[in-house]
Homo-oligomer: A and B are copies of this chain.
């Protein structure tokens, strides 16, 4: 890699001048257009690229934004990451991705590595599991980082203290359940989740609150995952026994997609035989015309980046969620 010095030598100027030409948005140090041109041309012929390492060492900070994602394959998080990456690129920042595979230990390790690389801010995409081992360790690390000026943002509820830009999970599930009840559904089952996973638990609570208000008995199944597979298996289970519900609210769109797959494969019709709703608003949900709560996932990512880059601002609040009525639910004429 050609260095600034190489460029300066080829252009017959000092490194200072070369630096000013190539990086200086600095108006206080004008450079003659002749010198400027020769530096630019030298840089071009040498294929000069500034060294992020040297720059970071000098400035004490890096244009890096770290991401600790629970699962990059889940469109829910992928959408957030995409929002982060786009906003970061617009601000001249680079996104460093670390996939934690839903493992608290990996989260801690990767958080540390991101810090070693001098990330200006670190964003957590994904909730945590209450009381899981390693949680305390992670909390300590996060505290230290925040104390040293690193901006830490969580885009899902988290046990450690950090800036949170989080949708109201309880309220989304509550309002979605109310909506389903309003359509006339009564025997509504909630599918998906993980014991202790905060975001999931909050959604279950919202669902339960709405059901109790309506004097209906809540029923939660498939509390062993947040994936399409979870939705599929939980639904197959439901269809195998009596008491098939009239509708299923899924913990997220992924689970709902799995549920759709199971129902279609069983030869039933949606929404006539059984209705499905999800939470998320991901692209696959739209393709299936899924009734869901649209969460501003990419927007959350963008807000996180803005909070990190414009260091003075107060933490932003998450924008509102909106219900999207698809074709996997309908008004029920004859509530049982």
Chain A residues packing against B (C-beta within 8 Å): 1, 47, 49-54, 56-57, 62, 64, 67, 72-73, 75, 78-79, 81-82, 85-86, 89, 94-99, 101, 106, 110, 112-118, 141, 144, 148, 227-229, 232, 257-258, 261, 264-265, 283-284, 287-289, 327
Most B C-beta atoms less than 10 A away, residue of A73, A115, A258: A73
A227 CA to B282 CA, complexed, in Å = 13
Contacts of A86 in B (CB 8 A): 99, 101
Most B C-beta atoms less than 10 A away, residue of A106, A141, A257, A287: A287
**Interface contact A94-B94, CB-CB below 8 Å:** no
A51 CA to B52 CA, complexed, in Å = 13
Contact of A284 among B57, B228, B265 (CB under 8 A): B228
**Interface contact A51-B85, CB-CB below 8 Å:** no
Shortest beta-carbon distance from A327 to chain B in Å? 7
**Interface contact A49-B116, CB-CB below 8 Å:** yes
Q: Taking A81-B72, A81-B97, A82-B99 as contacts, is the C-beta distance between A54 and B51 under 8 angstroms?
A: no
A218 CA to B289 CA, complexed, in Å = 31
Q: Which residue of B lies closest to A284 (CB)?
A: B228
The interface residues of chain A, by DSSP majority, are classed as helix
Contacts of A99 in B (CB 8 A): 82, 85-86, 89
**Interface contact A115-B54, CB-CB below 8 Å:** no
Contacts of A148 in B (CB 8 A): 1
**Interface contact A115-B49, CB-CB below 8 Å:** yes
**Interface contact B97-A95, CB-CB below 8 Å:** yes
Contacts of A141 in B (CB 8 A): 47
Contacts of A96 in B (CB 8 A): 94-97
A78 CA to B98 CA, complexed, in Å = 13
A50 CA to B117 CA, complexed, in Å = 9
Q: Which residue of B lies closest to A264 (CB)?
A: B264
**Interface contact B73-A79, CB-CB below 8 Å:** yes
Contacts of A115 in B (CB 8 A): 1, 49
A-B contact pairs, 29 of them (CB 8 A): A47-B141, A49-B116, A51-B57, A51-B116, A52-B53, A53-B54, A53-B56, A53-B57, A53-B62, A53-B118, A57-B57, A64-B117, A72-B78, A72-B82, A73-B78, A85-B97, A89-B99, A89-B110, A94-B98, A95-B96, A95-B97, A96-B97, A97-B97, A227-B283, A228-B283, A232-B287, A258-B287, A265-B327, A284-B284
Q: Which residue of B lies closest to A258 (CB)?
A: B287
Most B C-beta atoms less than 10 A away, residue of A52, A54, A56, A114: A52
A62 CA to B106 CA, complexed, in Å = 21
Contacts of A51 in B (CB 8 A): 57, 116, 118
- Pairs of residues from A and B, 9 with the lowest C-beta to C-beta distance, nearest first: A53-B56, A97-B97, A52-B117, A228-B287, A53-B57, A85-B99, A52-B116, A47-B144, A49-B116
